[in-house]
Amino acid sequence: MGKRQHQKDKMYITCAEYTHFYGGKRSEIPKSNFRRLPFDHCSLSLQPFEYPMCTPEGIVFDLLSIVPWIKKFGTNPISGEKLEAKSLIKLNFAKNNDGKYHCPVLYTVFTNNSHIVTNKLTGNVFSHEDPTNLDKFNVSDFFHVKNNLKVLDPDEEKAKLDPGYHLNSTNMETRETLAELYKDYKGDALLASTMKEPQAKKTDKLNAAHYSTGRVSASFTSTAMTPATEHTADAISDDTVRYSYVKKKGYVRLHTNKGDINLELYCDKVPKAGENFTKLCKKGYYDGTVFHRSIRNFMIQGGDPTGTGLGGESFWGKPFKDEFRPNLSHTGRGVLSMANSGPNTNKSQFFITFRSCPYLDRKHTVFGRVVGGFEALTAMENIEADPKTDKPKSEIKLLSATVFVDPYEEADAQIAAERQKELEKQEEDRAQTSLSQRKTKADQAPKTFKAGIGKYINPVTSTTTKRPAVEDSGPSTSGAKKAKGKTGFGDFSSW
């Protein structure tokens, strides 16, 4: 056996091999691989066309695809030559009763083997004979296919910024690994320095919760959180605070072309739906709208400015959640309820029942009832409607709405008054505290009686507490023997 026989058996792939043979090598399109483009497809998008246009060479494009291409590249995507939009010819295809393209003269249906021609002046399309030039239908030879040229969608370009865009298929393990990686990466110091801290909502006596924000425990267990050492009370949402002060019902009058209808709103039980309807009425949102749906012995529906049943927005601009109450049911005539397209999709549309509909409970939010104007409601029910669309044949119009009682304004005023009272109380307590602190400091300060050394000594007190001098009455008795005191333990006379 010769030496160096395995010299070229390398355990790695070189750059040249990777580029020209393996991963980096694009597979060439063989010339024999012919793919036929259907005649009713755009040569650029390779999809069925809607607004067919063609070049003087007879290459068909869709108007919505070729115009952006010409604006960006200015070339023919098939041949790569220069192309202008004014040179395009609009095609007028004729269709038979089955919706298929056919020749308007011979009435023969076009197929992929039909020779199709067009009049350059009118754009009308006719049948000629069997095709002889198949190059214009060969997708493999298209210039934009071979060079991979396309007009990118702005949304697609934005999506490419995401690193996961280029991952075509991933299994569950890969997705979990990437999710863990993204989670760990958020804790990076550089990223943490650029993250904006959420602004803490100010709390007071009204909206302070009995639980904390949890930032202390979160910062202790997560490296992505900024360390926090002080517990702060969480803030209750404004709606929760406001709705706790709503104790009354609302009253609204609807002025229609069939009469007035008085409504009582259950604002104390379903505050969200009640506020939405009240605010929209005060805003004039319902003025001039029509009741677009009416079914006898069932209900009448309105509240859509478009009059189609597909429009309408809530007062907040987005759908709000359902509010189901066990004591509110679609029982009786004149029940006011929210119309929706599914769970938690309430907007502006509402309906009034003509009879009991208990099967609508827990599907639609009941938020009021009719308390006056049943004659107008009966007049609306008597108007005939189209059996296919349920649209009244004669217009039932809501001219305007008048709000008599708005409990939400009263609740807002009460909350504002309580907060103002609380602020005044805090200011008063702060003033009393500062005054008491000043008095305490003044009392604790030592009193001066004179200048110089001993200025804090009271001369009156010092003279009254001075000890008198002892007179000399003879020799000192300090040397005399002191009498020894008796101790109880050494005396046994009582025994």
| Single residue among 381, 409, 437 that ends a domain in this structure | 409
Report the range out of 321-325, 416-420, 460-464 with the highest average pLDDT. 321-325
Claim to verify: residue 375 and residue 262 sit in the same structural domain: yes
Claim to verify: residue 106 and residue 216 sit in the same structural domain: no
Q: What pLDDT sits at residue 352?
A: 97
Claim to verify: residue 232 and residue 327 sit in the same structural domain: no
Specify the range with the lowest mean pLDDT, choosing from 21-30, 35-44, 69-78, 372-381.
Answer: 21-30
Q: What is the rounded average pLDDT of the residues 315-336?
A: 94
Answer yes or no: is pLDDT of 35 > 90.
no
**pLDDT: which is higher, 400 or 490:** 400
Contact 264, 249 (CB under 8 A): yes
| Single residue among 136, 152, 168 that ends a domain in this structure | 152
Q: Distance between alpha carbon 11 and the CA centroid of its chain, in Å?
A: 54
pLDDT > 70 fraction of the chain, expressed in percent and rounded: 81
Claim to verify: residue 238 and residue 254 sit in the same structural domain: no
Residues forming the active site:
293, 298, 301, 340, 351, 360, 364
Instruction: Tell me the CATH number at 316.
Output: 2.40.100.10
Answer yes or no: is pLDDT of 469 > 60.
no
Answer yes or no: is pLDDT of 387 > 60.
yes
Claim to verify: residue 236 and residue 273 sit in the same structural domain: no
Q: What is the rounded average pLDDT of the residues 207-231?
A: 83
pLDDT in tens, 155-193: 777 777 776 777 777 788 887 887 777 666 554 555 455
Count of domains observed in the chain: 3
**pLDDT: which is higher, 254 or 186:** 254
Q: What is the rounded average pLDDT of the residues 118-147?
A: 77
Write out the residue range of the structural domain in which residue 108 sits: 52-152
Claim to verify: residue 68 and residue 120 sit in the same structural domain: yes
What is the length of the chain? 495
| Single residue among 108, 136, 152 that ends a domain in this structure | 152
307 found inside a domain? yes
Claim to verify: residue 297 and residue 350 sit in the same structural domain: yes
Contact 366, 337 (CB under 8 A): yes
Q: What is the rounded average pLDDT of the residues 56-85?
A: 91
Q: What pLDDT sits at residue 106?
A: 82
Q: What pLDDT sits at residue 492?
A: 67
479 found inside a domain? no
203 found inside a domain? no
Region of 78 please: left (phi>0), alpha (psi -120 to 50) or beta. Answer: alpha
Q: How confident is the model at residue 1 (pLDDT cuts 50, 70, 90)?
A: very low
C-alpha pair distances (Å), 24 with each of 13, 18, 27, 147: 12, 5, 10, 16
Q: How confident is the model at residue 433 (pLDDT cuts 50, 70, 90)?
A: confident
Claim to verify: residue 256 and residue 402 sit in the same structural domain: yes
Claim to verify: residue 107 and residue 77 sit in the same structural domain: yes
68 found inside a domain? yes
Claim to verify: residue 289 and residue 236 sit in the same structural domain: no
Claim to verify: residue 236 and residue 332 sit in the same structural domain: no
355 found inside a domain? yes
C-alpha pair distances (Å), 197 with each of 192, 207, 390, 424: 10, 21, 53, 31
CA dihedral 166, 170, 173, 177 (to 10 degrees): 10
What's at 257, amino acid-wise? N
Contact 245, 347 (CB under 8 A): no
pLDDT > 90 fraction of the chain, expressed in percent and rounded: 41
90 found inside a domain? yes
Q: What pLDDT sits at residue 457?
A: 80
Claim to verify: residue 333 and residue 395 sit in the same structural domain: yes
Answer yes or no: is pLDDT of 329 > 90.
yes
Give the pair of three-digit tokens for residue 227. Answer: 């360390």
Cα gap 148→373, rounded to integer Å: 70
Answer yes or no: is pLDDT of 312 > 90.
yes
489 found inside a domain? no
Q: For the chain, give the mean pLDDT.
A: 82
95 found inside a domain? yes
Cα gap 265→404, rounded to integer Å: 11
Q: What is the rounded average pLDDT of the residues 230-240?
A: 82
